[in-house]
Amino acid sequence: MSPGLSPVYRERQRHWSRWLYRIQWMLLALIFLSALALRLNLLHFLAAFDVFKAAGLAVLGMALLSMLVFLWGMVKRHGEARNAALWAMVLGLLPMAVPLLTVGQDNFQRPPIHDITTDFRDPPQLLAAIALRSDRDHRPEYGGEEVARLQRGEPAYRDIQPLQLAGMTVPAATALAAEVGEGLGWRIVTRSPNRGRVEAVARTPILGFTSDVAVRIRAEGEGARVDVRSASRVGVGDMGENARRIRRFLGGMRERAGVAH
């Protein structure tokens, strides 16, 4: 190319492969904006999931195309095409890498349930959720033996057990449960110390998926028994999020009450 050519002409002569990573950036921006809209309650989960699925498949397709362009650039010794394709392939890994880093690979193998409890036979009821959930959300009733069987059969959920608080009254344990829940960022919607009941709304930190949580405290022996139920409003599975929420809550209760694990 002649050194006397204008910069505009040089720009026009750039290889088309630069559009590989440009398109990847646009698709990733679409995924990010959809996630932000979901987090701000501007977009329903089902609509956001459709965008994630379509954009994710497009990103993967562009990454595969970029792999072919990269090989062509290697054979033809075309540095610009090779570099552009490499960047496009790297960007194509993000939709897979981010969920793996934030959720964890093992949690993708959790059973397809979204309702976790410490008591299968008599799970805490989600009473406030009846008014809080929309027609497009799951019903707040527990799924029964089928859901209980899937939770019992998952080794990673075997630690989801009731908590025994020796020497603590029901009102005191209920007040403690509300404090621990608030410390975890839950929005308390029901607090009844005499009835031993706390209900709250919890959201995941990134996408803001909403779950309803019911904590039930009953007198047992010389202390109190704490049962918890956490149920997602949308989605088939929860990738272990409800179990993690219950673990954090019971861990906070143990720490505040001075109970050994």
pLDDT score, position 106:
54
pLDDT score, position 9:
44
pLDDT score, position 78:
86
The burial class, CB within 10 Å (0-12 / 13-18 / 19+), for 121 is exposed
What is the mean pLDDT for each group of 10 consecutive residues in the chain (261 residues)?
49 75 90 83 78 86 90 86 89 74 55 93 94 90 94 92 95 96 96 95 85 96 95 87 95 85 58
DSSP 109: G
Q: Which pLDDT tens digit goes with each residue over 57-90? A: 898 898 899 999 889 888 888 888 888 889 989 8
User: In angstroms, what CA-CA distances link 21 with 69, 84, 95, 124, 171?
Assistant: 12, 6, 14, 50, 59
Q: What is the C-alpha separation between 246 and 211, in angstroms, rounded?
A: 11
DSSP 181: H
Q: What is the C-alpha separation between 67 and 87, in angstroms, rounded?
A: 10
CA angle (237 as vertex; 161, 90 as ends), nearest 5: 120
Q: What is the C-alpha separation between 94 and 54, in angstroms, rounded?
A: 15
Q: Of 231, 64, 227, 65, nearest to 138 (Cα)?
A: 231
Percent above pLDDT 70 for the chain: 89
